[in-house]
């Protein structure tokens, strides 16, 4: 009888131990699932922020086209302003540099940047020197970034091609 009681007691402890260990395993599994879920949610949130940031940067590229100097703006400059490089031309250089740098750092922006440079090169309102710089960017970046960009050569006057070839 004592052996039976001891056996039952041992079995009871074994059962209780397995039950508790099983509970611990279930608890650990549950905790791991919760941690994993938090990590996944965090990454999804980061991805959505990056995506929104990329979209806003693309929109900024479109807005930056409007910052480039036009013929009418240059014609309104004073004699003193045109004696040196006008500020609006310097600012255009900064804009072009910012777009290029953004795309260099974040490759996902490269198609949008290439589109910006293409539109700049084709824009008949933008002054020739800036258009030439944009055309040069299009030509060099297509090769560097291994992207294609449809460009309408008929929209680019010979003077812009000549200037671009000298850059």
Q: Mean pLDDT over residues 48-63, rounded?
A: 57
Predicted confidence at residue 74, as pLDDT, reads 76
Whole-model pTM? 0.62
Say whether pLDDT at 81 is over 90.
Answer: no
Judged against a pLDDT cut of 70, whether residue 104 lies above it is answered with: yes
pLDDT digits (tens, 9 = 90+) for 139-157: 999 889 898 878 888 889 9
Q: Where are the alpha helices (DSSP H) in the chain?
A: 2-65, 71-75, 79-83, 87-105, 110-122, 128-145, 158-165
Three-state SS at 126 = strand
Q: Determine the average pLDDT of the residues in 87-109.
A: 91
The span from the CA of 7 to the CA of 110, in Å, is 74
Among the ranges given (88-92, 97-101, 156-160), the one the predictor scored with the smallest mean pLDDT:
88-92
- For CA atoms 107, 121, 89, 74, the dihedral sign is negative
Question: pLDDT higher for 70 or 141?
Answer: 141
How is residue 109 annotated by DSSP?
A: G
For residues 62 and 116, give the distance between their C-alpha atoms in angstroms, rounded to a whole number: 7
Question: Residue 70 in 3-state DSSP?
Answer: strand
pLDDT in tens, 5-50: 555 655 555 554 555 445 555 555 556 556 655 555 555 555 544 4
Look at 111 and 13; give whichever has higher pLDDT: 111
Per-residue exposure over 30-55, b if at least 16 CB sit within 10 Å of its own CB, e if not: eeeeeeeeeeeeeeeeeeeeeeeeee
> Given this model, what pLDDT does residue 128 score?
92
């Amino acid at each position: 009888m004592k052996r039976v009681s001891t056996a039952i007691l041992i079995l009871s402890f074994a059962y209780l131990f397995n039950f508790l260990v099983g509970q611990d395993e279930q608890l650990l599994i549950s905790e791991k699932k919760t941690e994993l879920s938090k990590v996944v949610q965090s990454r999804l949130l980061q991805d959505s922020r990056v995506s929104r940031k990329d979209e806003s940067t693309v929109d900024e590229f479109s807005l930056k086209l409007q910052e480039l100097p036009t013929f009418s703006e240059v014609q309104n400059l004073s004699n003193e302003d045109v004696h040196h490089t006008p500020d609006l031309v310097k600012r255009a250089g900064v804009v072009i540099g910012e777009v290029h740098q953004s795309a260099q750092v974040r490759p996902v922006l490269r198609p949008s940047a290439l589109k910006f440079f293409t539109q700049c090169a084709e824009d008949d309102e933008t002054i020739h020197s800036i258009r030439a710089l944009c055309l040069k960017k299009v030509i060099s970046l297509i090769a560097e970034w291994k992207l294609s960009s449809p460009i309408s050569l008929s929209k680019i006057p010979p003077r812009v091609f000549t200037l671009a070839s000298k850059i």
